[in-house]
Structure 1
Amino acid sequence: MATTAPVKEAEMEKRAAKGGERERTTIPPYMKAISGSLGGIMEACCLQPIDVIKTRLQLDRSGAYKGIVHCGGTVVRTEGVRALWKGLTPFATHLTLKYTLRMGSNALLQSPFKDPTTGHISNRGRLAAGFGAGVIEALLIVTPFEVVKIRLQQQKGLSPELLKYKGPIHCARTIIREEGIRGLWAGASPTVMRNGTNQAVMFTAKNTFDVVLWKKHEGDGKVLQPWQSMISGFLAGFAGPVCTGPFDVVKTRLMAQGNSGGDLKYKGMVHAIRTIFVEEGLTALWKGLLPRLMRIPPGQAIMWAVADQVTGLYERRYLHKAHV
């Protein structure tokens, strides 16, 4: 009996030590935020032309563009190559801030769903945290930046004197002067629905693909190769655009229309969906889907390749090293 007590105490200490190790395997939210910001910068620089083409296709009600290639070629031929990078400044800034907020808030929102002993989080918890992160980024970052970006992208030509908006700051000031501060949050409802659903699916899918394909669990000290992160991110980026296509089209239409005077064609999210369906047919609610699929999955691949390397470096230096 006397010898069993020290053994039990040793086992309890061993379990406590393991519990402490599990605590240390959690990557802090600020590291997730940093990794997201760096990934966002890289994604913006690579994929801005696809975003310009997507916006032009979604705003095209007359059939001027016959498809992605025709749209891109028309823009280059009539406006120059630089036109494919229209709106890059707000796009890059918005992506950087968006991913910083998305990754950081998702990490914070996951905390209540984690098992206090193992640190494990269920897929339901990942979905809830991802949706919450999407709502936060939509309201604080995405909506006002995308309003400015879309207003700049819908302008045709490169001569400043012929353009209503001379740049992102001038565009924002003009919108506020003509439409009020609420003008920067045009299309907020469909943006919230789009981003919330996208992030719920994306975070859950990315974790699932990491585990299934590469046996990678967060905090285990294993760092994925960039090509592995790109595959997981690419696959995770497919589901969202298909599910949220109507929200994205409606968001673009609501953001593009000014409300400085006269009657608005679209009165809100539901009215816009009904109007587009009646006037243009069901498939119009998925306009721009192909360029979205050309942009979002590759964008997620680029972003996660960078983000996983940043968090992986942290794991190796501060988490896994501490357990050795």
Structure 2
Amino acid sequence: MSSEKKPKPLPFVANFAAGAIAGISEILTFYPLDVVKTRIQLETGKSQFGLVGTFRNIVKQEGVGRLYRGLVPPLMLEAPKRAVKFASNDFWGKTYMGLTGESKMTQNLSVLTGCSAGATESFVVVPFELVKIKLQDKHSTYKGPIDVVKQIVRKEGPLGLYVGMESTFWRHVYWNGGYFGCIYQVKHLLPKPESAQAELFNNFVSGAIGGFAGTLLNTPFDVVKSRIQGAEKIPGVAPKYNWTYPALVKIASEEGFGALYKGFVPKVLRLAPGGGVLLLVVEFTLDVFRKALGPPYI
């Protein structure tokens, strides 16, 4: 039996900071694709332009700056959002391993841990997502993030900022379950890294595949979330979309099953490499922290 000591787990604040740094790196790189994705998802009926056409129309009709419309809320959000994602994944992983008596992570535990991290993350992101969707809508007349918040609170009260909570919950549960579950599996299938460069490559590949899997699982829930959060409330009129699963059925029956995957291409173009960037930056940053803190963390 080996007597080699395992490195001490990094403190919560290190995981939190690494997630925050990774999130900001990812959002600054891929944000325009998120704007295009939202525009496509908010279209009812058959999509008129697709990825390239929507991108061109935004630039031609509204200017390049519109591709960064609504950037402030997600930029403000990315630090706490991604920090919560990776810190809560670390927390739930340790918790479930302790409860089950496992000494290392397993495939089933990695999926359960990811889903739990997603559920935790969803409670943080709803108001920011709501503001972002309102600003990204082509018909938006809001002056900026503060104006969105003021108008929503004035019309609907503080709880109005949590419209779409249930659909956001499911969106994050499925994405994180697929993301972290795939990362575990892919890392075990890839050759064992023999160098720091190989380790970075493995992290990017496993994160990118995890990002693709998470996107494949959660896009229908993202479409519903966009529809719920993008709709303007009319007094006395019941909203067309309210609860997630009935909305999924309604969209599929009215627009076809493919409508549940509206915006999939720009979404996956962002979140597949974005998932790789996230994991790569997180692991790189954590390694920097380990070296800075020294033994017993390395």
In 1, Cα distance between the equivalents of 2:101 and 2:39? 51
Relative distance call for 1:128 and 1:118 in structure 2 (3 A) is closer
Aligned mate of 2:233, from 253, 256, 259: 259
Determine the structure 1 residue equivalent to 2:119.
135
1:261 offset after TM fit, Å?
2.0
**Corresponding residue SS for 2:190:** helix
Aligned mate of 2:215, from 236, 241, 249: 241
Asked if 2 retains the 8 angstrom alpha-carbon contact of 1:229 and 1:305, the reply is: yes
Determine the structure 2 residue equivalent to 1:304.
279
Write out per-residue CA displacement over residues 229-286 of structure 1, whole angstroms, 9 at most, x where no aligned residue.
2222111111111122211111110011122524122232233223212221111111
Determine the structure 1 residue equivalent to 2:156.
179
Write out per-residue CA displacement over residues 48-99 of structure 1, whole angstroms, 9 at most, x where no aligned residue.
1000000000011255632100000000000000001111111112222110
Determine the structure 1 residue equivalent to 2:253.
278
Determine the structure 2 residue equivalent to 1:167.
144
Relative distance call for 1:175 and 1:288 in structure 2 (3 A) is same
Determine the structure 2 residue equivalent to 1:232.
206
Write out per-residue CA displacement over residues 106-126 of structure 1, whole angstroms, 9 at most, x where no aligned residue.
111111233699841222222
Asked if 1 retains the 8 angstrom alpha-carbon contact of 2:110 and 2:184, the reply is: no
In 2, Cα distance between the equivalents of 1:184 and 1:117? 40
Determine the structure 1 residue equivalent to 2:91.
108
TM-score between both structures, scaled by the size of structure 2: 0.90
Determine the structure 1 residue equivalent to 2:31.
48
Counterparts of 1:57-96 in structure 2 under 5 Å?
Answer: 57-61=40-44, 63=46, 65-96=48-79
What is the root-mean-square deviation of aligned Cα atoms in Å?
A: 2.6
Asked if 2 retains the 8 angstrom alpha-carbon contact of 1:131 and 1:199, the reply is: yes
| Structure 2 residues without counterparts, runs of 5 or longer | none
| Structure 1 residues without counterparts, runs of 5 or longer | 1-10, 157-162
Write out per-residue CA displacement over residues 132-189 of structure 1, whole angstroms, 9 at most, x where no aligned residue.
11011111x2211111000000044xxxxxx531111211121111122222111211
Larger Rg: 1
Determine the structure 1 residue equivalent to 2:135.
152
Relative distance call for 1:64 and 1:244 in structure 2 (3 A) is closer
**Corresponding residue SS for 2:242:** coil
Asked if 2 retains the 8 angstrom alpha-carbon contact of 1:224 and 1:312, the reply is: no
**Matching residue's letter, 1:128:** L
Aligned mate of 1:295, from 270, 273, 286: 270
Is 2:174 the counterpart of 1:200?
A: no
Relative distance call for 1:151 and 1:85 in structure 2 (3 A) is same
Count of residues paired in the alignment: 296
TM-score between both structures, scaled by the size of structure 1: 0.83
